[in-house]
Amino acid sequence: MNKNLIYGKHTILEFLEKHPKMLKTIWTKDLAYLKSFNLNDYKVQIIKTTEKNLDQMFDQTVNHQGMVAEIKEFNYTPFSELLTILKAQTTSLVLLLDQIHDPYNFGAIIRTAVLLGVDGIVILDRKQAQVNSGVLKTSSGTAYDLKISKVNNLTNAIKQLKDHGFWVYSTNLNNKSVDFRTVDFANKSVLVIGNEQKGVSDLVTKNSDLNIFIPSNKTIDSFNVSVASALICFQIATKLAKV
């Protein structure tokens, strides 16, 4: 499968409404759905094809709903540029993802981040899901509405953010962790979300200002990372009057 393919009628129509310049080619078995869009303005190639041809574009069975599209490569924001933007703001919320592997978790985190006014996401350039077609589909294209930066060292990124006045909060359950609901989050906050299995790495934890946790009834080990991100982001965004 081409890594830059997205599929599903509703997903692609949403891209056409919000991010038409990001589309290169659309394959469809029914042109009627596209008649209301002036695609010539965005140089999107339209190809009418069959259900069988659409099926053959993928290595496995997917519910493409008769429509597939190729998207352009995602452009990351240089971390230095993100820092410059954040420096000019009096309140900021940044997500720092410590090796999130599942692209669907990453996409869900991005979608929530956009809804809650997060100012940027920082990820590793390796051992981390990148912004690909799966992430863009899950996020409904909202990744294009957010500044996402790649770095090769999260600890160095944390130090630079601290130099710009940020406090760093890591989701971590240990004997020093505090209930996130009791925290008076700083006007410039970084929320660290850890790997789905291992959580936040030791070095990132060591360089954080505070470890926080989400209380639960203990019937399962922990919240899904995208859910945890949403719960805490909402709390911080409310404090910073972003929502």
Residue 187 shares a structural domain with residue 230: yes
Residue 86 shares a structural domain with residue 149: yes
Whole-number pLDDT of residue 204: 96
CA distance 155 to 190: 13
Sheet holding 188-194, edge to edge: 148-151, 120-124, 92-98, 188-194, 167-171, 210-213, 178-179
Sheet holding 45-48, edge to edge: 5-7, 67-71, 23-28, 45-48
User: What does the angle CA 171 – CA 175 – CA 179 come to, to the nearest 5 degrees?
Assistant: 50
CATH number at residue 137: 3.40.1280.10
Q: Compare 89 and 34 and report the one with higher pLDDT.
A: 89
Looking at 19-23, 142-146, 208-212, which range is the least confident one? 19-23
Residue listed under structure tokens 């999130």? 100
Burial class of residue 209 (count of CB atoms within 10 Å of its CB; 0-12, 13-18, 19+): middle
Whole-number pLDDT of residue 17: 87
| 212-238 tens-digit pLDDT | 999 988 777 678 999 999 999 999 999
Q: Give the range of the structural domain holding residue 161, as residue numbers without chain letter.
A: 79-239
**pTM to 2 decimal places:** 0.90
| 73-111 tens-digit pLDDT | 899 999 999 999 999 999 999 999 999 999 999 999 999
Closest CA to 63 of 113, 16, 11, 136: 11
Residue 95 shares a structural domain with residue 46: no
Last residue of a domain, one of 71, 98, 122: 71
Residue 58 shares a structural domain with residue 109: no
* In 14-103, beta strands by DSSP E: 23-28, 45-48, 67-71, 92-98
CATH number at residue 13: 3.30.1330.30
Residue 133 shares a structural domain with residue 198: yes
Whole-number pLDDT of residue 3: 67
* In the chain, beta strands by DSSP E: 5-7, 23-28, 45-48, 67-71, 92-98, 120-124, 148-151, 167-171, 178-179, 188-194, 210-213
> For residue 184, is pLDDT > 70?
yes
Look at residue 108 and give its three-state secondary structure. helix
Residue 147 shares a structural domain with residue 67: no
56-70: average pLDDT: 91
Q: Which residues contact 76 (CB under 8 A, 6 or more apart)?
A: 131, 148, 149, 150
> For residue 128, is pLDDT > 70?
yes
Whole-number pLDDT of residue 1: 53
CA distance 77 to 120: 9
Residue 60 shares a structural domain with residue 87: no
Radius of gyration of the chain, Cα coordinates, nearest whole angstrom: 20
Q: How many structural domains are present in the chain?
A: 2
Residue 28 shares a structural domain with residue 56: yes
> For residue 153, is pLDDT > 80?
yes
What value does the mean pLDDT of the chain take?
92
Residue 42 shares a structural domain with residue 88: no
33-46: average pLDDT: 83
Residue 36 shares a structural domain with residue 104: no
Whole-number pLDDT of residue 2: 61
Whole-number pLDDT of residue 33: 85
Whole-number pLDDT of residue 173: 84
Whole-number pLDDT of residue 24: 92
Whole-number pLDDT of residue 35: 84
Last residue of a domain, one of 71, 94, 122: 71
Q: Is the distance from CB of 117 to CB of 94 less than 8 angstroms? A: no
CA distance 136 to 133: 5
Closest CA to 100 of 60, 129, 143, 72: 129
